[in-house]
Structure 1
């Protein structure tokens, strides 16, 4: 695993794209602070850049560095969640502008997968996590269902867990600073 993390960090630091197993599905990732790298993700997925992406952080401390104010209820939601949960926060900080939605929000998930946690900790920056498919196509249920266009479009494919079936996609909750909670995806 250490060799895979080293390889990923080298690619991420150079603005490249990785294909990696997450706590939910196989994801396309890049440095969430690098606008040029994020643009490559939109291009590969054939996705409009007006549709915001999810980014992963390694822990609560990293989350707090990239959100102006994490509402207290967010910690309760994350502690009580029974599956990976992505929360959309107001006023993200230090992320590429093209990752941020037009309403100045960002979808962020604290990674629960050990590989993702180690990778993000070593990289010291959030990474993008978006499903490994062209926008509009079904999300691949396993590595073997990822189409050639995606496989050839990334700079590095993590050589771990190729036999793993995807878990369910994360829940998505929009949590405003005024404590308004809206469930986007259960």
Structure 2
């Protein structure tokens, strides 16, 4: 029998440094506490992903991201570029606040990818947790991202706690753009 955790059980797992799986706008995501290096390390190990690539933080609102990014040198136009798409499925790469941001999050970069979600289940999860979540697609490296619970179980089995909600239904993972240049990084 599958144990279907409620939101408080998922929060408890996050606070214990565990990885969880949750639906996003287009695919299921693997997530953990962005302030727990062991949790990030384990998430990368589960996914079989190199730390060098960096990760995304997904949040309920901008205030949850302030401690991880440095927006002090961004112009009003650069900030408006990102804010005009949020909340929503666009991920923006911001300069990282290096003192507060582990290399496990940024990878080999001095920047951090961030997104403010409009998807209520994740927004609620971030608000209840009190901070953003690490967000990377739920798939083993080299495999397609899981879009259904069946695909999640096929790739990861039944050991990782899962938020049992459907993905929002967008056809592709979030677009990624650079906040400084506006350049498209991933379509």
Measured against the shorter chain, the TM-score band is: 0.7 to 0.9
Report the aligned-residue RMSD.
2.3
1:7-32 CA-partner distances (Å, limit 9, x unpaired):
11100000001111112311111001
The answer for the alignment partner of 1:95 in structure 2 is 101
For residue 143 of structure 1, the aligned residue among 139, 149, 153 is: 149
Where structure 1 has 5 or more consecutive residues not aligned to the other structure, the ranges are none
Q: Paired residue for 2:177, among 153, 163, 173?
A: 173
1:15 is aligned to 17
> Where does residue 79 of structure 2 map in the other structure?
74
Structure 2 residue 43 is the aligned partner of structure 1 residue 41:
yes
TM (norm. structure 1) is 0.85
What secondary structure is seen at the aligned counterpart in 2 of 1:181?
coil
Distance in 2 (CA, whole Å) between partners of 1:118 and 1:10 is: 15
Contact in 2 for aligned 1:83/1:171 (Cα 8 Å): no
Q: Deviations over 1:81-116 (max 9, x none)?
A: 795100011123533331113221111111111111
- Displacement of 1:165: 4.6
Q: Does the 8 Å CA contact 1:38/1:96 hold for their aligned counterparts?
A: no
1:46 deviation in Å? 0.9
- Residue equivalent to 1:183: 184
Match of 1:116 among 95, 101, 122: 122
Q: Give 1:168 shift.
A: 2.2
5 Å matches for 1:24-63? Answer: 24-63=26-65
TM-score by length of 2: 0.84
The aligned length equals 179
Is structure 2 residue 104 aligned with structure 1 residue 104?
A: no
Task: Classify the secondary structure of the residue corresponding to 1:122.
Answer: helix
- Closer, same or farther: CA 91–77 of 1 in aligned 2, 3 Å: closer
**CA–CA separation in structure 2 for the residues paired with 1:99 and 1:74:** 22
Gaps of 5+ in 2: none
Render the CA deviation track for 1:112-168: whole Å, top value 9, x for unaligned: 1111111111111221111111111112232222253423452x1112237x65542
